[in-house]
Structure 1
Amino acid sequence: MAKRKAGGAQSKLKRIWRDRVLYLTLLPTLLYFFVFHVIPIIGMKLAFYDYRIKGDNVFVGFTYFKKLFSTPVFFQILENTLIISAMKIFLFFPMPIIFAIMLNEFKAGPFRKSVQVISYLPHFLSWVVIAGIWFEFLSPSTGILNSVLSNLGFGKVNLLTSKGSIRWVLLASESWRSIGWDSIVYLTAIMGIDPTLYEAAKIDGANRFQIVGNIVLPALAVTMVTVLILNIGFFMNAGLDQVLNFTNAAVNSKIDIIDTYVYRIGLQNSQYSLATAANLFKGVIGTLLIVSTHLFSKKLTGKGAW
């Protein structure tokens, strides 16, 4: 048994050495996550200390967590975070898959390349630029949407200041920004399907919908499960940059999330320990979600994130 394990370890080392150039390309990404995501974990201990500008920080245990959960506004913020995240994950999740399948139906050519490039571009825009575009599009006075509604005989609407619609605006702008970029991983998986499977299906008389249902979707199963599990891990991240650019006094109560709360009390009000406690709570919930989703998927389908 020991010899078998040693042989397996040597085989893995040989494969790593053989593909060393590919692993080196991962180095910048690994450094990024180490510097900006691993090292900051050490600073999370501030949630258990009373921060002092001068002198040593004083250990106070769970004092700031108790203060956090005794704040009535925190539960409204938590509710906003859960609702917005659920909308982005579960309602948006099938869109890149459908978009990738639709792109695959087009023959490779100028039209398909143009659609891909145009759909990828919004991903590279900052949320400041995207918010500006959507403000112009939804403007009650000069926006395209209200111009169309007026021409059709309907009254003008201001979706940006409506509590009932602002969350849908966040979902729509997120979809517009990410649908093309997120479809890349699915399109890559589709392109890896053995062409002989398509040929066999056509010989058997299968139509396009049957091919998608019996060949394409099963081939995407592992990718879909992996992406869903990773998305669940970021469930508590409802989009700080997006919310900061779309928020206003009229709708703040509906889109104020944990990240904006941490930004407000931490950077603006200098309550560093309380802000760290809120962020640590968010991180722990995210970790539990990704582990539980992985275990559930592993038990249900035999496939997980690792």
Structure 2
Amino acid sequence: MFRRTFIRSAIAATAVLALAACGGGEDPLSSGDGAGGGSAPDKVDSLTVGSANFAESQVLAEIYAQALEAKGIKVNRKLNIGARELYMAAIQDKSVDLLPEYTGATLVYFKKDATENEAEAVYKALPDALPDGLEVLNKSEAADEDAIVVTQETAKKYSLKSIGDLKAVSKDMVAGGGPEFKTRTAGLAGMKDKYGVEFKEFKTLDAGGPLSLKALKDNTIQVTQFFTTQSAIKDNNLVVLEDPEHIHLPNNIVPLIRTDHKSPEVADTLNAVQAKLTTSALTDLVKRAEGGSESAAAVAKDWLSQNPLT
């Protein structure tokens, strides 16, 4: 954890007490600072930014961090924490104060029975789903959706167009991917529940990474999960299966932040980033970061230099 001055601690404590006293306050979407509500400090001197264990999350975290540093705010980094279950635990136990997140994935993480499946409805449902002390700021138009993918050869062999088409053949197939793909609603659990799709085996590989891609191309596995901003889908001519039952919710990029670190300056800076991000730009950033020749920090610095926030 980073050090706090006595004054900073007093402000945070006052904010927490005020939140407990007011019990929610005004309409959480009415302030223009994003969803969430509750009391926030007037000024933040430092905070800790975290990220998941994949390139896109690390690039977004670096963009947030460098944008805040340009405002004179000290930023500590805890990147590459791991899967959602790990980094959500980190922000709830105050090990980190800010994360790049995704609207749909965040909603179903905290509200398993969420029924919203349109982008704006998902975003507006977040305030009531988030635990006390957490908020989201403005969502970006940039989005990265989960995608169930197969090769062109597999799609042609089994006449696959949607996830439901797998039901008749999946018991002869092997699925593979990150360990979370096996248990999440956006993965095998949702495929079984919504489409009746079950596989004969699951191979634990990586989340939309080179191991999963190689296994798919080698036909060691026949189905995996990638993400729509990954160039690997287009570069390898993979087929994204349609999802009419919406196990994959809209996933607009959104900052998830602790209320006790959401000063007006922090919120305005991050919302300015959100307004500049686009899906096409994010796809390019991911390709550069996944290539291995550029670090997440370098890719983020270049994007900020081309997209000044003021």
- TM-score (normalised: structure 1): 0.25
Q: Which has the larger radius of gyration?
A: 1
> Which structure has the highest helix share of the two?
1
> Which structure has the highest strand share of the two?
2
- TM-score (normalised: structure 2): 0.25
